Amino acid sequence: MPLFKKEALLSIFDLRILEKRLFVIYTMTLLTALSLTVYYYALNLPYSGFCTGVFCVVLSVVLLLKKINWVNKTEYCFLIIVSAHLIMSVFIEGAQSGQYLYYFPLLIGIPVIIDYERVNYKTLLFNSAITFTSFVVCILLGVYTMPLENIPHTVSAKVFIFNAISALLMTAGFGFSFIYSHKLNFDGLIEQKNNTITSRTRFLSTMGHELRTPLNGVIGAVNLLKEEKYLAEDNEYFRILKYCSVHMLNLVNDILDFNKIEAGKLELHKVALNLKQLICDAALPFYNGFEEKNLKFWVEVDPELDKTLMIDDIRIIQIMNNLLSNALKFTQNGHVKLSVHCAAKSDNMVTAGFCVEDTGLGIDKKDQHKIFEGFWQENDPATRKYTGSGLGLSICNRLLELMDSKLNLESEKGNGSKFTFKIDFDIAKQSPTLLPENKYEPEDLANVRILIAEDNKINMMIAKKILSSFKAEITCAYNGQEALDILQQDTNFTVVLMDLEMPVMNGFTAVTHVKNLYPAIPVIAFTASLLDQQMLTELFIMGFSDFIPKPFEPNQIFSLIKKHLPVTEKIFA
């Protein structure tokens, strides 16, 4: 166990505080002067000893006056007292004793004893100039005047050695104090920044969950309304509701993704997929949008990319969505073209070159560097015709940096834009695992019993309605303890949907009990939190079989539950 803890030492010697820096400098100077006074009297040099002794007394008085708050600017007093003492010492001893050497630690000590964080450089230069002038005066006095005290050569040599060693040690001490105070300031700024990022991440994570939870209700209700016969899908109010809810969800996801990237918590999760098929699938949702605006939309994928590669499909689709959404938003006539070619290949790797080209608004040369910064987009500030968070391209670039790539732009104002990037993909060692084809694959969830643990009544209603529309039998629990009580009475459930954040008992605790007591029942995490790879890994370790994010689409939850049905239920459902 250390004798002194770091916190206790910092409370005394925290050199970020001016007063404590002054205390350290005053102490080092006073101890050196006291030692020199004793040494002078030991060498039978009474005038020099008396002068240095007076210097010690004056310095002590200034410290005392500072202690009782009678003097505030002690740093300037220190410079004046030290300079006056050195001039007087040279007047008494001459230049041969080496008193002028103390100007070196004094020059180093000026940034330490002056509040350099608040004063400007002119103040520092002024004090340095005063010190340098005093140094020149000392040299001139030592050379052109006779010393007051007659010091033998052998004695002056001893004094010179003592002063040289003391000046060197004080220079090192003052320099260390300056460097250490800077380090403490730097460490403090880093800690403050990390705390700010942590607080911001926690806040946005919480707000993201709170925003996505009601959005799940809105989007879920929209999806249910689509199934109602009396409400046509082309109803204007219905389309407005659908657009606004999806747009708000995308904004929330962009902000959360951007925050995770800033905090360094976004990781890549690669799976074996066919790249050509992935690109074609990613482009499918955009055909209707381009058709509505009478724009031509071409997708060209090199046949060489029709192979299974290790891909983070979620992030590749996210990049494609951002680039194509921008092209759709900023192009009023002409065309948009997505092309992917094989730029290079080897036995273990394929390099794919991506290009999204449009004939849209274009970006001025002087603004092109801004588009990769957060919260900026090409717009007319007077009209703000184009809305959005301005995070899409910044997120794309950050994601590509994680893939050791970079988003490149070629554009001219009014002549469209061309975004290109290249990504290296490892060739998958084996094809993706496919389930054997089953001609009895169920078209609904008839005879499937699902236990839903969800504390939000709106989300519970949405989930129950959607799953009931697939003919599933639903049992509801509003916290983890209720779910355990239901399972204790009846274990004949096909799957459990478990919310993570619930009162009484949360999903993290409940899943542990479920897997211990009923290990055969798959438990799917049902959450509005934006999950990263670390959290996904933790969920799987806890015992969750899979997860479904809120908000969700009906077909999404249907496909996920089908994946976890026992084979017998798949066949006989």
Model pLDDT for residues 127-171, shown as the tens digit of each residue: 778 888 888 888 888 888 888 888 888 888 998 999 899 989 888
Note the pLDDT of residue 152: 87
H or E stretch at 319: helix 313-330
**Is 42 in the same domain as 176?**
yes
Note the pLDDT of residue 3: 46
- Cβ contact 267:534 at 8 Å: yes
Q: How confident is the model at residue 324 (pLDDT cuts 50, 70, 90)?
A: very high
Q: How many domains does the chain have?
A: 3
Mean pLDDT value across residues 203-214 = 68
**Is 422 in the same domain as 500?**
no
Centroid of chain to Cα 457: 35
Q: Is residue 264 part of a domain?
A: no
Q: Is residue 222 part of a domain?
A: no
- Cβ contact 507:525 at 8 Å: yes
d(CA 300, CA 338): 6
Mean pLDDT value across residues 327-354 = 92
Count of CB atoms within 10 A of residue 448's CB? 23
Which domain does 78 fall in, by range? 14-186
SS3 24: helix
Please check the confidence at residue 479 and state whether its pLDDT lies above 60: yes
Domain with residue 412: its CATH number is 3.30.565.10
d(CA 356, CA 320): 9
How big is the CA angle at 80 (ends 78 and 83), to the nearest 5 degrees? 105
Q: Is residue 240 part of a domain?
A: no
Please check the confidence at residue 204 and state whether its pLDDT lies above 70: no
Which range has highest mean pLDDT (57-66, 140-149, 201-210, 469-478)? Answer: 469-478
Instruction: For residue 394, give Cα distances in angstroms to 262, 352, 360, 399.
Output: 11, 21, 20, 9
Note the pLDDT of residue 222: 73
Q: How confident is the model at residue 509 (pLDDT cuts 50, 70, 90)?
A: very high
**Is 413 in the same domain as 511?**
no
Average of per-residue pLDDT values in the chain: 80
- Tokens 């260390």 sit on residue: 176
* Residue 503 or 247, more confident: 503
Please check the confidence at residue 2 and state whether its pLDDT lies above 80: no
The percentage of the chain sitting over the pLDDT mark of 70, rounded to a whole number, equals 78
**Is 372 in the same domain as 326?**
yes
Note the pLDDT of residue 229: 58
**Is 489 in the same domain as 541?**
yes
Domain final position from 186, 221, 241: 186
Please check the confidence at residue 271 and state whether its pLDDT lies above 60: yes
Count of CB atoms within 10 A of residue 313's CB? 16
Note the pLDDT of residue 436: 43
Poorest-pLDDT segment among 236-240, 418-422, 542-546: 236-240
What is the C-alpha end-to-end distance of the chain, expressed in Å? 67
List of residues 6+ apart from 77 with CB closer than 8 A: 62, 71
- Cβ contact 324:360 at 8 Å: no
Strand partners, 453: 477, 498
Note the pLDDT of residue 510: 94
How big is the CA angle at 551 (ends 547 and 552), to the nearest 5 degrees? 65
Please check the confidence at residue 424 and state whether its pLDDT lies above 90: yes
Poorest-pLDDT segment among 21-35, 350-364, 449-463, 500-514: 21-35
For 184-247, the DSSP string reads: HHHHHHHHHHHHHHHHHHHHHHHHHHHHHHHHHHHHHHHHHHHT-TTS-TT-HHHHHHHHHHHH
Nearest to 448 by CA among 545, 565, 557: 565
Note the pLDDT of residue 230: 55
Q: Is residue 471 part of a domain?
A: yes
Note the pLDDT of residue 236: 65
Note the pLDDT of residue 235: 63
Length of the chain: 573
**Is 401 in the same domain as 482?**
no
**Is 508 in the same domain as 385?**
no
pTM equals: 0.52
Q: How confident is the model at residue 247 (pLDDT cuts 50, 70, 90)?
A: low
- Cβ contact 163:99 at 8 Å: yes
